[in-house]
Structure 1
Amino acid sequence: MENTDELLKYSIPQLLRWRVNISGDKVALREKDFGIWNYYTWNDYYDHVRKTGLGLKSLGISKGDTVAIISDNIPELLFMAIGAHSLGAISAGVYQTSMPDEIAHILKYLKVSLVFCDNQEQVDKLVEIREQVPGVKKVVYEDPRGMRNYQSDSWFMDIKELYQQGETLYDKDPQLFDQLVDRGKPDDPCHLCLTSGTTGLPKGTIMTHLNYINMGVQITRVDPLEPTDEYVSFLPFAWIGEQMNSFGIAMATGITINFPESVETAMDDLKEIGPHFMFGAPRIYETMRSEIWLKIDQSYGFNKKLYNYFIKQGEKAATYKMTGESMPLGLKIKAWLGRQIIFRPLINQIGFLRLRRAYTGGAALGPELFTFYQAIGVNLKQIYGQTEITGIAYMHRDGDVRPDTVGLPLPGTECSISKEGEILSRSLSVSPGYFDLPEKSKELLEGGWLHSGDAGYIDDRGHLVVIDRISDVMHNKRNEMFSPMFLENKLKFSPYIKEAVIYGDHKDYVAALINIDPIVVGKWAEDNGISYTTYMGLSAHPDVAQLIMEQIQEVNEKAEKEHFRIKRFALLYKLLDVDDGELTKTGKIRRKFVQEKYRDLYHGLYEKSVQEKEVEAFFQYQDGQSTTVKTKIVFYTLEEV
């Protein structure tokens, strides 16, 4: 019955119970704690969901209530979410990097009754905003370390105490939990997923059990998974990308979810597990590529020559493999040798040896990056969707990976392009709308189609091509259209460029603010005898500017049209950061915010006579302290403007 429409008749707790009946003793969850991997079978999983759900019921949580989760990825996060679902309550993920005021806004907007936190860091945020969130009746925590001062306050509860209350209720009425689970319906709301907030405050997207399970069923019809496959959970749970794996794919296929010891050790723990599939935002793959290039750069000269030769052969072979075309025998042999001699040991070092497929989404990825990963033997594929369609609606098929597209619709997904060029979609994974925002929901689902807000078209092979956000597509003074995101991705393929922000709307030319990659550029500086102490000092060095200018010139030389060329740029004195509001939680640039924050630099890009400006650089540290430093920013011109 797996991966068929039969699964669509269940709620998530009902599907979990079904898993118990067919493979109760199989490992469902694995968590690394103090260096040791501990596991939960499907039986254990259901038992913990049961005592969590009944514990929540004993606290007065019932159908329609909202339980917020602010936590790193741990099994208890799923116990809490699905325990709430079992009662007909709704879970909601909040990014663990959120600041107290931001959390207060979200909890009030989503009408949260109870909050689950993993540790003292998150609990302290709740303490700070306690008076602002009177609707929150209880805060449950998982890690008791540092919680001694709170233990006498009834507002707080150790999850072990919640379990005990659940067990007590179970002992009184052993049938109650299954009766509550039986009441669930596939169309019931089960989770509120926050949108990325690229253009403003995040909205709570209403997700149903059917949304998640349908997505899990349809994606595995394209790329089947085995119940013995492994997945590493390191994406923030508040992001739809993690929920679709934990709620959707895992329940639909029976794979094992692995939880790293911490966010900091996630990549090392990934190497120990060796997952069979992986999903990550573009920044993850960009960072890994930089690390690979850094390893090669630090290698012996002979190894570098071998790598450079075989990466070229691999890239040629990748163009055949991605399109499913027959490869010349000579090239096939060279590509095979490259994999055995260079790339197989390399991908083993990063934990990708067993990886059959890797997916990226959340933002577009440069075509060159796909070719790079395919060349080294990592089957990286683009997916496209949004929170409101449970993360995925379109994806590449094996042997039909076209880097300039996002692939074909998933089974059961319809695609249409509006007269205005907007991408419209329809499937069982489409959200019913936004929480407490009826007008926004009406706009989202106008005419029975999900309105993506993205501009795109369908090519002659049926693949969807995404251009950019409709609101972000720019026109220069001559009304020539260009996509800033497209140019940013082109720039970011350079290992020396960490981030790029493109401007040029209603201007004479395109200009850019650039973040250098501190790891790769730092190594380059050391190799070239350039001394520096800080990121600000490194980015201000004229030789670094010359290096970046060469990278931009390469992009310009490949530009299809003259107005795509970048004419002016400046190097930012700090990395763009989520905590500073410059990036969304999923790593997308908040372009207008960045433009306003660095307005002196933005204006300097379009003041042709200005060569440099003195600006005040403001830094906010994690301990709350801040400082202001004066620095000079130089503006560089590539061509006559």
Structure 2
Amino acid sequence: MHTTFPQLLLTHAQERPAAPAMREKEYGIWQSLSWGALATLVEHLACGLHQAGLRRGDHMVVVGANRPRLYATMLAAQSLGAVPIPLYQDAAGAECVFPINNAEVAFAFAEDQEQVDKLLEVRAQCPSLAHIYFDDPRGLRNYDEPGLASVDELLAAGQAFAGLHPGFFKAEVEKIAHTDVAAMFFTSGTTGNPKGVVHTHDSLLNRARAGADFDKLTHSEEVLAYLPPAWIGQNIFSYAQWLACGYVVNCPESAATVTIDLKEIGPTYYFAPPRVFEGLLTSVMIRMEDAGAPKRKLFHAFMRLAQRVGPALMDGKAVGTVDRVLYALGNFMVYGPLRNNLGLSRVRVAYTAGEAIGPDLFTFYRAIGVNLKQLYGSTETAVFVCLQPDHEARADTVGVPCAGVEIKVADNGEILVKSPGLLKEYYKNPVATAEVLTDDGWYHTSDAGFIDAHGHLKIIDRVKDVGRIQGGGFDGALFAPKYVENKLKFFQHIKEAVAYGDGREKVCVMVNIDFDAVGNWAERRNLPYAGYTDLAQKPQVYQLIKECVEKVNADLSADALLAGSQVSRFLVLHKELDADDGELTRTNKVRRGFIAEKYQVLVDALYNGASSQYIETQVKFEDGRTGSVSATLKIEDAKTFAPVQAAA
């Protein structure tokens, strides 16, 4: 059945007006907003925006954290036939200039003073930006800028207009067709300017329903909306599927309280990129290292059991009686309390996406009884391309094509997708659109992979990143950098890794330590340090990271395909990779090419046999100031292993 987002809102408001649609935590207390109240809020916002001049086909930027009024503003814009464009709330002002100018944006919703300041800072470069509405008034009392007004003022004007024109809102909603443009999402822009991905109501809602049907989602689900609304993943799970299913979306008080809020809400349907699951696991391991010896011993004993039999139990496979009883005991003493501590005790379905997850990390969660599964998709495909069925979740695949999706593999190994969820176009960029969309409707994903014997899709890496080792003991061997990086990031002491090796005789890696985990480790060993840079270069820390690298090498040696991807040399970077410094995208993906250019002197040192290298790097601070950080980085050799097959 074809429909639109505003029509779904009105349907829920009519059928379940008193049921909670959203909750927001304010001053430590959860406040509920019913579907009926939400529909009224959206109507008043839409009427206010119409009076201010927002018209069909116009674009409106929304920037801020997940908040009921941000979601309501998106719905209000869609109700008028306008197109909301969520932008990343942590992006610098300069990063907003291109999207605003490219889409000729005249209207903006800004959550608070920080976002208002950001938009005012670039306003001179954005001549079309005439109206900025803010939600949180704190700090904005004395601002006197043309076109700057509060959402409360907008609502008051809209309420008055709605009173005079009671049928206006519903009449506008009726004009919206399912084939109309519903939203635009700007890609990360890893190479050049970001591209505006245009989606219709149909493409987004079709995929939202496909995912909901696959996992039998109902209106009784509880979801925590804590990721950036500008990310298509957050938008599908907390906006498109929210309206398709009618479940409750919960907005945390702040980024700092997400962990607490997660425990309080106890979501039944949970979505997070691998980085979040890595962070949760790291926090657990830090606490366990601080525990007493008996507790640590008990934890590790039961975790060994969980790793052995937990995934099999999760997949519904036969497990011996003794193991089943021991696992039940472990569930009572360790796994259950652990899930509760993570806020995952009520999770029925959990997904990870955005980038590949390390197999060890994936297995950990399934071992303790969390139904963690992988999905495959992108901004251009409205997320849902492949999903893992219950009892068929595997660390090395991303599942089977979901309803309506066709997949084929090109001669160069690239995955091609045909789906009802494909983008309409890249906004004002027909050349880029033609590069990814064929005349007969196939989308080029730029990912390399294959369909295995069970019909599951297996992704190796980005097509452009998959390479070969040239020379050395593994000449011609496959090199998949993301696979290596994910195996390294399973260790709680490693936050990020960047691997190089294509066209070279060996693989070398630059590592970011996890400052919290390694700092905790150092403090328990009475190892003094004066900040990140000092800690990262401690000989003891290098030995710790070396042990992690060599464990990964031992694992890789058992993989006939990827034995050549073992790490020969590594260094620990003197600073954390940061999106503000251009090293990560806003979705925290490594910009490997940019990093190679920026740290060319380090890459050269890794490959020319140097034992150390001095480097000075410019960094951008949170307040916008710039500075520099310098250090002489040590470079270590790591032990590599002969492939198991060759040794047998």
Instruction: Tell me the TM-score normalised to structure 2 length.
Output: 0.95
Comparing 153-162 with 285-294, which one deviates more in the overlay?
153-162
C-alpha RMSD of the superposition: 1.5
Listed as ranges, the matches of 1:601-620 within 5 Å are 601-608=602-609, 610-620=610-620
Look up the SS of the partner of 2:227 in the other structure: coil
Take 2:452 and 2:247, find their aligned partners in 1: how far apart are those partners?
A: 35
Listed as ranges, the matches of 1:190-589 within 5 Å are 190-446=182-438, 447-477=440-470, 478-559=475-556, 560=559, 561-589=562-590
Take 1:493 and 1:539, find their aligned partners in 2: how far apart are those partners?
A: 18
Q: Kindly tell me the number of residue pairs found equivalent between the two proteins.
A: 632
Look up the SS of the partner of 1:579 in the other structure: helix
Take 2:380 and 2:513, find their aligned partners in 1: how far apart are those partners?
A: 33
- Which amino acid in structure 2 is aligned with residue 588 of structure 1? K
Take 2:618 and 2:188, find their aligned partners in 1: how far apart are those partners?
A: 25
1:90 to 83, 87, 92: 83
Aligned to 2:636: 636
* TM-fit CA distance, 1:149: 2.5
Look up the SS of the partner of 1:264 in the other structure: helix
Look up the SS of the partner of 1:522 in the other structure: helix
* TM-fit CA distance, 1:159: 0.5
- Which amino acid in structure 2 is aligned with residue 302 of structure 1? P
Is 1:30 matched with 2:23?
A: yes
Aligned to 1:41: 34
* TM-fit CA distance, 1:322: 4.8
Take 1:87 and 1:109, find their aligned partners in 2: how far apart are those partners?
A: 21
Structure 1: segments with no counterpart, 5+ residues: 1-5
Take 2:111 and 2:14, find their aligned partners in 1: how far apart are those partners?
A: 30
- Which amino acid in structure 1 is aligned with residue 587 of structure 2? T
Take 2:146 and 2:624, find their aligned partners in 1: how far apart are those partners?
A: 29
Aligned to 2:112: 119
Take 2:513 and 2:72, find their aligned partners in 1: how far apart are those partners?
A: 41
Take 1:346 and 1:319, find their aligned partners in 2: how far apart are those partners?
A: 16
Look up the SS of the partner of 2:394 in the other structure: coil
* TM-fit CA distance, 1:138: 0.4
- Which amino acid in structure 1 is aligned with residue 548 of structure 2? Q
Comparing 51-60 with 438-447, which one deviates more in the overlay?
438-447
Is 1:178 matched with 2:170?
A: yes
Change in Cα spacing, 1:380 to 1:480, as seen in structure 2 (3 Å) is same
* TM-fit CA distance, 1:611: 0.8
Take 2:342 and 2:639, find their aligned partners in 1: how far apart are those partners?
A: 41
Determine if contact 2:359/2:395 at 8 Å carries over to the other structure: yes
Structure 2: segments with no counterpart, 5+ residues: 642-648
Change in Cα spacing, 1:640 to 1:309, as seen in structure 2 (3 Å) is closer
Aligned to 1:592: 593
Is 1:129 matched with 2:122?
A: yes
* TM-fit CA distance, 1:225: 2.1
Determine if contact 2:499/2:509 at 8 Å carries over to the other structure: yes
Determine if contact 1:457/1:466 at 8 Å carries over to the other structure: yes
Look up the SS of the partner of 2:263 in the other structure: helix
Look up the SS of the partner of 2:458 in the other structure: strand
* TM-fit CA distance, 1:321: 3.1
Determine if contact 2:553/2:640 at 8 Å carries over to the other structure: no
* TM-fit CA distance, 1:639: 4.5
Identity of aligned residues (%): 36
Take 2:94 and 2:362, find their aligned partners in 1: how far apart are those partners?
A: 39
Take 1:285 and 1:630, find their aligned partners in 2: how far apart are those partners?
A: 31
Q: Deviations over 1:602-640 (max 9, x none)?
A: 1100111x1111222433322233333442111111249
Take 1:617 and 1:132, find their aligned partners in 2: how far apart are those partners?
A: 29
